Each structure stands twice: as C-alpha cells, then as structure tokens.
Structure 1
Amino acid sequence: MELEGTILRGREFEPVEGRVVVEDGRIDAIEETETDSDAIVVPAFVNAHTHIGDSIAKEAGAGLSLDELVAPPDGLKHRLLRQASREEKVQAMRRSLRFMEQSGTGAFVEFREGGVEGVELLEDALEGLAIEGVTLGRETTDAMEASDGFGASGARDGDFESERNATRSAGKLFGIHTGERDSADINPAMDLSPDFLVHMVHPEPLHLERLDDEATPVVVCPRSNLVTGVGVPPIRELLNRTTVALGTDNVFLNSPSMFREMEFANKLADVSAREVLGMATWAGADIAGLDCGVLEEGKRARLLALDGDTDNLAGAQDVVRAVVRRAGVDDVREVVLPE
C-alpha cells in the first residue's frame, strides 16, 4: 500500500512531499515526489502511560485529592474496580481502546491493576484490535511474569526491590510513579534503576543532576497532574537531560487522546512542537522497546494520515505545529496499524 501527501519524515519530522510505500507491514520506501494529496502522514502515537481500567468511571471523583482518587488499596479507583464485574471492566476498556485506535494511537504502555487477572482482562479487551498494548502488571511478581513487565505505584508504597530484581531477571520493563505529590519518593525510585519514571512533577536540583548522570527516561502526564492539583512537570528541564515521553494517565480523569495531550503540553511548556510530537511518538516507542514511532525505511508501518483540507487544518502554514496544536480526532483520515 501507499500513502501520499506531506510526510513528516524522521525524528525531526521534516515535511516532504511524496509517498510512503508499505510492504509486509514495514516502511519499504519514502519517495519524494509531487502528489495531488492534501494528507499529512505522521507516525501513529505511542501513549506512554495509561490506566485503562479506569474506563468504568469516567469523570468520577470530582473534588477529591490525589490520594483519595488513586492511592492503593482503597482510593476511589480501586474501590470502583473491585465493585465492577469482569464483563463491565472488559467492555469499558475495549471502548477506550477503540477510541485510542481511531484517534491515531498505535501503541500504549499500561500500568495494569488487578494482578494476573487484571492482565488477562486487558488481553480480553484487546482481542481483535490493532492497537498494541505494552502491559506492566502490578501488585505481584506473578502479574509481571504474565505481562511485559512491572508498573510500580511508587516508592512511598513500598521499596519494590524484590519486584525490581525479579523484573530485571526476567529481562522485562520496570516503570515507577514518582515525584507526583512531592519530591520525597524520587531518590528511592531512582535508586531502583528503573527503565523509566512517571510524572516527575517535583524534581529538585539534586534529582535533575541524577538525570544528567543516569539519563533515566521520564513519562509526563501534564493534564492529569493539573486535574489532581499536584502541579505541572518541568518539561523543559527534563527534556534537557533525558528522553521524555507523553502519557494521558487515568482514563477516568482525562480522555486518552494524544491530540489533547500534545496541545496542552505545547501550550503549557517552553518546548517546540517538534519536541512535543517526538514525545508523543518515538520517545514512547524507545522507552517501551517498540520498533515504531518514526517514519523511516525499515520501521514498522504504524501510521496516521490526517486530512489537511478539513476546515480545521486547511491553510496551516506550519504543518508540524498544526498537527500538535490544532489537529484532532475529526481530522483523522486513516489509521494504518498492520501487525
């Protein structure tokens, strides 16, 4: 198959007119040539931090603190998850996953509550869909063994040393929430040598120095942080030191739309549109070990074509900026997610 139009090529998203040639699920060639297409071809998004199970209770818990909302074991989300039936949880997750797929997300990294059963629920919800889930089990090493790794709640909830060692021995991915409420749990989290950190809203100079030395990737979720009242991450400071990716976090707090997350991050922080688009694509892919997120020959062809002639996008002078700050679900023309 071929996709024609303005192609945002490579990690710098250089706009070139031409076509992307796809063979056997991979990008066979990117050919520069004149076309009649007004499409804008970009990599499918990688949502680097989600809690899809929260789909059972969208917009629940208004006015509650972060601990009241999500702290294990009795935060609102955990109580609601316990109360919901298996069928309710699977169906709610499936609907969110369909929305993510339709809005251009090709892969996501999920911190999956509920132990082994929670991992199995997500597998059921993903059945027949093209979106790719990188599932990090929580709560038990059994959940890690049944999934792609371990997603720790945070160092204030335990030391997670045994889980980290087990995950490392299994050669799987280990991520941990940290620095969301304050800075107290950042050093303990970094001491575990995780594959990535989530949130980092409150790093102090010594933590930034550690990032300089250790270059541990960070996933930021600025919309979620604002909703829960904990502040916003210093995205520019983090980007100066390490790989930074974007995630949408809890579905019951925010729509899992990478368009919304990109626009918010770009308008909030002193970062360029190109940097934000990288955070939404190749940065998450790098963290999760996925062979996608960038339009280069040989890469998996997980692509998104936007209609550049919609009333929303027509007349855009800076294509990358328009994708990041202006585009939305209604501008999606085609999502290509081959196996």
Structure 2
Amino acid sequence: MEEVTGTILAGESFEPIRGRLVVEDGRIEAIEEADTESTDIVLPAFVNAHTHLGDSVAKDAAVGLSLDEAVAPPDSRKHRRLAAADRADLVAAMRRTLRFMRQTGTVSCLDFRENGVYGARALREAASSVAVDPFIFGSDDAAVLDVADGYGASGANDNEFADQRAACADRGVPFAIHAGEPDATDIHPALDLDPDLLVHMVHAEREHLERVADQSVPIAVCPRANTVLGVGDAPIRDLLEHTTVALGTDNVMLNVPSMFREMAYTATRFDVTAREVLRMATAAGAEIAGLDCGVIAPGRRASLLVLDGASDNLADSVDPVEAVVRRATALDVNRVVG
C-alpha cells in the first residue's frame, strides 16, 4: 500500500481535496480528506490524444514548410525521412521521445503510426522498455490490425478506406481519421466512414458539428501544430459544445510532445476554462481509447502526476487547476506514478 499526499485534483471536476490517496496494487483505493504538510499537487497523468512518434527521427526537419510539404503522404519531407531511416535509429528516436513524455507526465498517447505492420512493430519495440503505453492507430492495409490497436487514416479526400473501416468494425477496434485540417472538403467524406475519432477539425462548420453530435464522434485537437503549419485555429468552444474533445501535440517533428505546453497554449488562445483544458489533456483521451486512467477516483488505475506545489514557479498560486494548466512546466514534476 502507498499513500500520496497533497492537494488532490479529484474526479471529473478536478475538485481540490487536501488529503491523501491510498493506492494498492496499482489502483486507487480511497481519497481521504486529512491534515497534511505536503505542498504537492496530485493530478491524473496525461493522455496525449494525437501523436506521430515516427518522425522523432527528424525533429525540426519541417520548419518553415507548408502542411503538404511537411507531412502529407506520400512525398512530404516527413515521409521521405521515414523511408530513409534505419530501423534501429527509428526505434531509438521513438524511445527517447517516449522517455521524455513519461518525464513530463504522460502515461499514454494515441499514435498514428506510419509504415504499416513494420511501423507498428517498431513502435511496440520502442515502448517495450518505457513506462508509456501507446495506443497505436496503424496504417496501410487492414493487416496492420494484427499488430495495432486500431486504424489511423490520413484523410478521406482521394483515399479509399472502406476496407480498413470494415476490418475495424469486424474486430471491434477503433477507426480514426484526419479531417478538416487544410480545409473543410474532407470532413463529410470522413464522417461518411462512421469514424470513432476525428483529428483536427480546424475548418469544422455548423453542418459538420451537427453531424459530429448526431454520430457522437470525439475529436482530438492539436492547436500548436495547427499554428506551426498555418492552417488556422480549430473552433474548440464549438467543438466542446457538440462532443468530447481531447488534446494532442501532433508530429514530434513539429512540436515537443509536452502536454504542459499544449495546455498553456490552448488556455491562452481559446475560449476554454482551465478545467476543460485539463480534462482534454487527461480524461478525454483516456475515454476515447478506453483506457482506465485520466481520472482520480476510487477503483481507477493510479496513473498520477505529482507536482511540487512549493516550487519557485507554483508557490503562491491561488488556484491549483489554473496553476497546472497555465503555469506548470516539466521542472515542477516531482514524480509520475503508475
């Protein structure tokens, strides 16, 4: 049995409770109010809802490029770098990124992995010695589902994914697809595939939002990557009013996969509350992938991020949720549990 003490951001509402968490066999047994001298802030560990870990091997290679030049298949700089990468170098680069993610409070990510079975196996190998469990959305043909946890499609325009969608349905695994990143033309075709997850939706309009709500499709947004690539800003307030919205950092080639940076950017740029942003970075991604984490509650997996509330950065903060979302950095991390 282990006790974790401090200010605990409990439940779906992240209600601050001064006290202790009782953890046994990796699960939360109880949350108890109690006197404590601990100044730690205890919150759910992060779930990064959209990554491309493969391009860890080419960090910053796309600086100054457009979306198509940077990441569009099959001839973007990203895909050329992936094709040229030695497998051992690719695995080592992804492993370094996963270690960084763990150090900065992330315990799982929903990764779109290129290169089919080969790519999915490489990511499994990279994650085998790191305490971050990627949920892998594989690519290419449906055979990747023998290795991956679901299928991740590049986009519906000029691409046929009916076979992969049918294979996901047969196996009971999720089908995810990019939509509405450069423009709105691929959103209706993506929704026609009845996806389990849409990524980006920067150019979502009222007619798309109504379909999203009717079909109960969650969305992963990546605000910093959208800014880097110059495609615009997702209508996050509108998205939140229609469905579950989760937060991702997108391509490692474009951005450091830090949920601290993504939360602060989102809270500053968009009409969202700190609690909404924190849920986007924790519970929402876990919910989309069916992971037993993202919320501090009895019976749940004890995947926790413990911050030093007395650090020079966080001391004197009057609201722990605001402090976590807008102010906290990797330097404030005391430990990651679970």
Q: How many residues align structurally?
A: 337
For residue 312 of structure 2, what is the amino acid of its counterpart?
D
Alpha-carbon separation, structure 2, partners of 1:240 and 1:11: 17
The within-5 A match list for 1:115-134 is: 115-134=116-135
Do structure 1's residue 58 and structure 2's residue 55 form an aligned pair?
no
Alpha-carbon separation, structure 1, partners of 2:68 and 2:146: 28
The within-5 A match list for 1:285-324 is: 285-324=286-325
Instruction: Give the SS at the match of 1:155.
Output: coil
Cα distance, 1:212 vs structure 2: 2.7
Instruction: Give the SS at the match of 2:12.
Output: coil
Cα distance, 1:29 vs structure 2: 0.6
2:219 alignment counterpart: 218
Cα distance, 1:312 vs structure 2: 0.3
The within-5 A match list for 1:112-261 is: 112-261=113-262
Alpha-carbon separation, structure 2, partners of 1:61 and 1:283: 29
Q: Give structure 1 regions of 4+ aligned residues with deviation exceeding 6 angstroms.
A: none
1:254-279 deviation line (CA, Å, top 9, x unaligned): 00000000001111110000000000
Cα distance, 1:62 vs structure 2: 1.9
For residue 29 of structure 1, what is the amino acid of its counterpart?
A
Cα distance, 1:214 vs structure 2: 1.9
Cα distance, 1:105 vs structure 2: 0.2
For residue 3 of structure 2, what is the amino acid of its counterpart?
E
Cα distance, 1:132 vs structure 2: 1.1
Instruction: Give the SS at the match of 1:156.
Output: coil
Instruction: Give the SS at the match of 1:183.
Output: coil
For residue 102 of structure 2, what is the amino acid of its counterpart?
E
TM-score (norm 2): 0.99
1:237-289 deviation line (CA, Å, top 9, x unaligned): 00001000000000010000000000011111100000000000000000000
Alpha-carbon separation, structure 2, partners of 1:229 and 1:123: 32
> What's the Cα RMSD here?
0.7
The within-5 A match list for 1:86-97 is: 86-97=87-98
Alpha-carbon separation, structure 2, partners of 1:128 and 1:189: 35
Cα distance, 1:191 vs structure 2: 0.9
Cα distance, 1:79 vs structure 2: 0.2
1:108 alignment counterpart: 109
Alpha-carbon separation, structure 1, partners of 2:206 and 2:84: 43
For residue 270 of structure 2, what is the amino acid of its counterpart?
A
Do structure 1's residue 262 and structure 2's residue 263 form an aligned pair?
yes
- Asked if structure 2 preserves the Cα contact closer than 8 Å seen for 1:50 and 1:248, the reply is yes
Alpha-carbon separation, structure 2, partners of 1:62 and 1:332: 29
1:105-156 deviation line (CA, Å, top 9, x unaligned): 0110110111101011001111121111101111121112211010000001
Instruction: Give the SS at the match of 2:129.
Output: coil
2:50 alignment counterpart: 49
Identity of paired residues, percent?
A: 58
For residue 260 of structure 2, what is the amino acid of its counterpart?
F
1:64-88 deviation line (CA, Å, top 9, x unaligned): 1101111111111000011110011
- Asked if structure 2 preserves the Cα contact closer than 8 Å seen for 1:159 and 1:188, the reply is no
Are the structure 2 counterparts of residues 124 and 157 from structure 1 closer, same or farther at C-alpha, using a change threshold of 3 Å? farther
Alpha-carbon separation, structure 1, partners of 2:335 and 2:66: 39
